Amino acid sequence: MNLKKLIPLVYGQFLNLIALLFPTYAGNKALYIFAKVRKGKLQSDQIPKLLQEGLAQKIKCNGHTIQSYHWKGSGPSVLLLHGWESNTNRWRNLIKVLRDKDFDIHAIDAPAHGLSSGEYHFLPNYAAGFHEILQKHEITHVIGHSMGGMACMYEFYHHEHPTVKSITTMGSPCDFSLVVSDFQSILKFNSRVLKALDKVVRLNVGYHIDEFSSGYFCEKIPQKGYLFHDEKDRQIPISQSEKLHQHWKNSELIKFSGFGHSLHQKEVIKKIVALLEEKK
């Protein structure tokens, strides 16, 4: 068996074993295995030129040092939020186009990603980081890819940001339970571990796993929503955006085909820019 496939199974069996006697420990261990960020970091001596040009202040938040970016422009302000095991450089194609059109562009590296500190990523900490940007600047549009989109929904459910006119999610999950289910299928841990993990998530985040859903969060979000998703996305199925669209009455589902999960192609960028200019 391939070693990369074997290691997760060893973790899973370890969790199954310790959950027999120490379920809380097993739940905590499972959470930290899940939250461990294994790629997406940037070295300070290998920062792409585009990011160097946008380097802004470091934000102290929940024990993390969050790297923020700002490319100044005279047009509407846009906040860009990357996804899991990525960083702000994933937006390079879109940033170049937005700069040419003189948009005011903000972004951050999530905790444990890019140039931000930490080894573990918890979605509420990500939201707390860009909450600072939303409070200090009059952001007009927010765009989040994958888990960045879900973090955005979480933040806007808990805090009002009246300057924001639109929220765009790209290949984002609606239900945290889907992500946890994928995690469980990789490690093959049992229902006892899942139950323990659910208790730990509830204690730390305030929601059970099946309660943590953008379909629930969107009920308190008045902004216009644009839900970008590729019909052949193999990481997050389009059914997740379809589900969110059903719950989010003020949303529009925008489908693509053949672009995968990343959604960084020219056609996608063209559509994003058109929507942003429409909302000026």
User: What torsion do the CA atoms of 140, 146, 150, 151 make, to the nearest 10 degrees?
Assistant: -70
From residue 87, alpha-carbon distances to 94, 122, 136, 145 in Å are 14, 15, 22, 11
Q: What is the pLDDT of residue 42?
A: 94
Query: The pTM is what?
Result: 0.95
Residues 250-279: pLDDT tens digits?
Answer: 999 999 999 999 999 999 999 999 999 986
From residue 112, alpha-carbon distances to 66, 150, 253, 271 in Å are 9, 17, 31, 30
Q: What is the pLDDT of residue 177?
A: 98
pLDDT band at 90 (very low <50, low <70, confident <90, very high): very high
Per-residue pLDDT for 25 more than 90? Answer: yes
Per-residue pLDDT for 280 more than 70? Answer: no
Residue with tokens 């208790």, as numbered in its chain: 199
Residues 155-179: pLDDT tens digits?
Answer: 999 999 999 999 999 999 999 999 9
Residues 91-137: pLDDT tens digits?
Answer: 999 999 999 999 999 999 999 999 999 999 999 999 999 999 999 99
pLDDT band at 78 (very low <50, low <70, confident <90, very high): very high
Residues 172-224: pLDDT tens digits?
Answer: 999 999 999 999 999 999 999 999 999 999 999 999 999 999 999 999 999 99
Q: What is the pLDDT of residue 44?
A: 86
Residues 27-59: pLDDT tens digits?
Answer: 999 999 999 999 999 998 889 999 999 988 999
CATH, range 47-175+213-278 = 3.40.50.1820
Q: What is the pLDDT of residue 7?
A: 87
From residue 186, alpha-carbon distances to 119, 178, 207, 253 in Å are 21, 13, 23, 30
